[in-house]
Every structure is written in structure tokens, then in C-alpha cells.
Amino acid sequence: MVENKVHLKVPGDTVYLTLVRKVIVDLATQMEFPEDDVAKIEIAVDQACTNVIKHSYVEEKDIELHGRYHSRREEDIERPIDLIMHIDGDKILVTIIDQGKGFDLGSAEIPSLDEYLASMKMGGLGVYVIKTFMDEVSYSRKPEAGNILKMVKYLPRNKEESEVKENG
């Protein structure tokens, strides 16, 4: 497959997540990822962008909830999220860059799913989802560039490999 790179820059607002999902689903589908993997990539990218919007760009005290939509300060919406989707042979590399607060991906607690479900809590599974659905995840913060989250998903070599991954 020819090496391709798609760069998408969107405002830091949940309204634009539909566009982000459409682009990543189209790319993953063109690469012939199995349907389950396309969904996992879509969810991981959506979750990562949502985390930027809700946690990196906005202070909790500055969010007003209107129905299910978070209303933010204008200066937060104006800060963009850069997505660079790099298709390289047997993998897709998604790099998400933002200019918000830093985050220590390594210190994020992965909850016990039994305890989480018993608590009836909403939210808090973003890092778990990203790490579970993608094959490689790394985070760095560079003063000149901002927060950089890299996520990789490999194409299964064959149908059997895909089924083995899904079944554990």
C-alpha cells in the first residue's frame, strides 16, 4: 500500500467529533481493517479527542451542561486539535496534538471493570478504552508542540489472527 498522510485540524469542540469519526472510519475501511477493528479505532480516536476537549482544554468549573452538550468558553473552542493519520503498509498511526494541560498517561488508573460497573459511574474509562482498543499508545509533552498522543493499530495478517486477537 502507498504511504499516505491525512492532516485534519478541528476546533476543540465536540461538534466536530462527527467529522473526525467519519475521516478515521473512511481511512480504516479503505485499509481493509475488519469491521470490529474499524469500530475500535473510531472509538479510541473519538475518546482521545473527547478527553482533550473535556479535560485538557477546559477547567471543570468552566463547563455548563446544556442537555448532553457541554458549553465551553469561547477561548477553549478556538484552540484546535490536530490529527495526523498516517497510513503505512500494515498499520495506521494516529497522532493527536493539542495545546492544553498536560496529562500523565502512565499514571492513569485502569479501573476494575466489575467495580466500575457496580458503581454505576459514567465516564472515566477513556484511557482504558484507548489502551485496550489500540495496539500501541504513547504520550509525550513538548513545550514547543504541546501534548502528543500517538496510537497505532496494525492490520491483522489474516482472518485467523484477527479472530485470535478478539477472543483473547
Rounded to an integer, the average pLDDT of 155-167 is 60
Rounded to an integer, the average pLDDT of 3-30 is 91
Confidence of residue 125 (pLDDT cuts 50, 70, 90): low
Q: In this structure, which amino acid lies at residue 154?
A: Y
- What pLDDT, on the 0 to 100 scale, is given for residue 158? 55
pTM of the model: 0.76
- What pLDDT, on the 0 to 100 scale, is given for residue 6? 93
Residue partners of 71: CB distance under 8 A and separation at least 6: 63, 64, 65
Confidence of residue 168 (pLDDT cuts 50, 70, 90): low
Higher pLDDT, 118 or 7: 7
Q: Counting Cβ atoms within 10 Å, is residue 128 exposed (0-12), middle (13-18) or buried (19+)? A: middle
Nearest to 104 by CA among 167, 155, 149: 149
Q: What is the pLDDT of residues 55-111, one digit of tens each?
A: 776 655 555 555 555 555 555 566 789 999 999 889 999 999 998 877 766 655 555
Q: In this structure, which amino acid lies at residue 10?
A: V
Cell digits of residue 95: 497522532
Domains identified in the chain and CATH numbers: 4-167 (3.30.565.10)
Q: Please give the mean pLDDT across all residues of the chain.
A: 78
